[in-house]
Amino acid sequence: MKISEIGEFGFIDEIKDNTLFNPDPVVIGIGDDGALYKTTQGMEQIAVIDTMVENSHFIIGRTGEWYDVGYKAVASNLSDIAAMGGIPTHIVLSTAFRPDMDVDDVIALYKGIKDICRTYKVNILGGDTVTSQEGAVITVAAFGEIEAGKALLRSGAQAGDVVAVSHTIGNSGAGLDVMLHGADGYDELKKAHRFPEPQIALGRLLVKHHCHSLNDISDGLASEANEIAKASGVRLVLQYEDLPISEELQRWAAASGTQAGKFVFTGGEDYELVFTMSSADFAQLQAEFPAVTTIGTVEAGPAEVVLCQGGKRELLPAAGWTHF
């Protein structure tokens, strides 16, 4: 059945259930002109938004399925909240679909949205749906909260800090490359691209352990590191040999004849965290959250990123995923 056959209100009936996963702050949810919700005393509010466009951000049947797209549309927003040390609370969304899109595909998309919202106890407060003549467009606005005065920004890096990242990086970009090549195997790389995990818990621990600056790796490490350097007015010095690169990424890099660093620095959509803090505070963090690795240091100097590799120091430009 096509979405045009059930109409807007039939579509709403299909997806309106199971939307509140932390109902206490919600006064009015889906069903009125707007939603009403209560904020937590002593907390500041975070608002973020992101859009995914069919055949630009995803190719159905090649780089993902509709369920994955719904999941990832929310994950990218929750990662931005994690990158401020926040707690995600609610989303609203706007979708545009072709009239001939199958209802089952739309339901699969919303199942992905609901499943990740359930995992992180995020409420779906409402949305809007319109017709698209070319492809699907999914826009999600997410809201979160952070203790007043505690938000972690890109602009706080200090000379003497260590630079660190979470887990391994580059897997998502490599997973996209695997799928675009139609290669079998490399399941962990594919999963990293299709189902990224926003680092909410780590973001909260970084608030606790006095992180100085923080960014999520959505556009590649080169871009995000340069954003911290520019916002903080410092030099970041990264050590290539210290980068946490997975064995599976290294295997794909060798098989595809691509340098592993390309996926790390410009691949994007890892949604891991890159951050700076004192070495003493990092030791305390690592004792509580072992899956973090130091990859460099912060120096006084011009706002730039330097990569050390094979005994050479070279500027690392802010290359990575861009929308234009």
Binding positions for ATP are 110, 127-128, 154, 218
Q: What is the DSSP letter of 209?
A: T
Q: State CA 163 to chain mean position distance.
A: 19
Residue 10: CB atoms within 10 Å:
12
**Cα 231 to Cα 166: distance, rounded to the nearest angstrom:** 21
Distances (CA, A) of 176 to 38, 53, 68, 107, 202: 40, 16, 13, 24, 25
Q: What is the dihedral of CA 320, 278, 291, 287, to 10 degrees?
A: -170
Please state the residue numbers annotated as binding site for Mg(2+).
33, 50, 80, 128, 216, 219
Q: Where are the beta strands (DSSP E) in 54-208?
A: 87-97, 123-131, 137-147, 162-166
- The annotation places the binding site at 33, 50, 57, 80, 110, 127-128, 154, 216, 218-219, 269, 321
CA gyration radius, the chain: 20
Using N-to-C axis directions, what is the helix angle for 187-194 and 247-256, rounded to 10°? 100
Please state the separation of Cα 242 from the chain's center in Å.
Answer: 23
Annotated binding-site positions for substrate: 57, 269, 321
Q: Are 306 and 313 in contact (CB under 8 A)?
A: yes
For 44, residues 6+ apart whose C-beta sits below 8 A from its C-beta are 145, 146, 147, 148, 149, 151
Cα distances from 323 to residues 54, 95, 320, in angstroms, run 13, 19, 10
8 Å CB contact between 127 and 34: no
At residue 31, φ and ψ (nearest 5 deg) are 130, -10
Backbone φ and ψ for 248, nearest 5 degrees, come out as -70, -35
